Amino acid sequence: MARGQLAQGTGTYVDLDLDFTRNPATNDISFKKDENAIRRSVRNLVLTNFYERKFNPDIGSGVYNMLFENITPLVAQDIKRAVREVLEVYEPRVAVLGVNLVPKYDENGYECTITFDILAIQKQLTISLFLERLN
């Protein structure tokens, strides 16, 4: 089954659990399903840098590079645009409703809240990430 594929006859999305936890019943790698699979995919796309995926170097948001800039409204707009674009291009299972960034000056990062609809099941989800540069 391909990444993010809709499992036949079930109406659910299934992705590999990238934590590579073991399913105790089957002794195989666990899967993320439905909302959890899409949440993980959205998070991974936002946090992926360009050229990080060896055979897909174009996949990425570029957010990490922007975190080295001073926290300004212009940089926040660029991050919002980058998050929206990566999801619109590489996550066809969702429709982005909004990206909200709150600067956290003392922590040198942004609190990012992404709201989106899962298209196949018509459900709205919100995820929050703290975007900070790693030293």
Residue-wise pLDDT for 101-131, tens only, equals 999 999 999 999 999 999 888 899 999 999 9
Question: For a pLDDT cut of 70, what percent of the chain falls above it?
Answer: 80
Residue 115's beta-bridge partner residues?
98, 126
Contacting residues for 135 by C-beta, under 8 A, at least 6 apart: none
More confident residue, 83 or 133: 83
Does residue 9 sit within a domain? no
Does residue 116 sit within a domain? yes
**Mean pLDDT in residue range 81-94:** 96
Q: Is the pLDDT of residue 70 over 90?
A: yes
Does residue 21 sit within a domain? no
Count of domains for the chain = 1
71 and 103 in contact (C-beta within 8 Å)? yes
Does residue 15 sit within a domain? no
**Could you list the residue range(s) of the whole structural domain that residue 56 is in?**
35-132
pLDDT (0 to 100) of residue 75: 95
Does residue 110 sit within a domain? yes
- End-to-end C-alpha distance for the chain, whole angstroms: 37
Total residue length of the chain: 135
CATH of the domain at 63: 3.10.450.40
Question: What angle (nearest 5°) sits at the alpha carbon of residue 4, between those of residues 27 and 130?
Answer: 95
pLDDT (0 to 100) of residue 107: 92
Does residue 25 sit within a domain? no
Does residue 24 sit within a domain? no
CA-CA distances (angstroms) from residue 63 to 8, 50, 86, 96, 121? Answer: 35, 9, 10, 17, 29
**Mean pLDDT in residue range 77-92:** 96
Structure confidence at residue 9 as a pLDDT band (50, 70, 90) = very low
More confident residue, 16 or 27: 27
Does residue 61 sit within a domain? yes
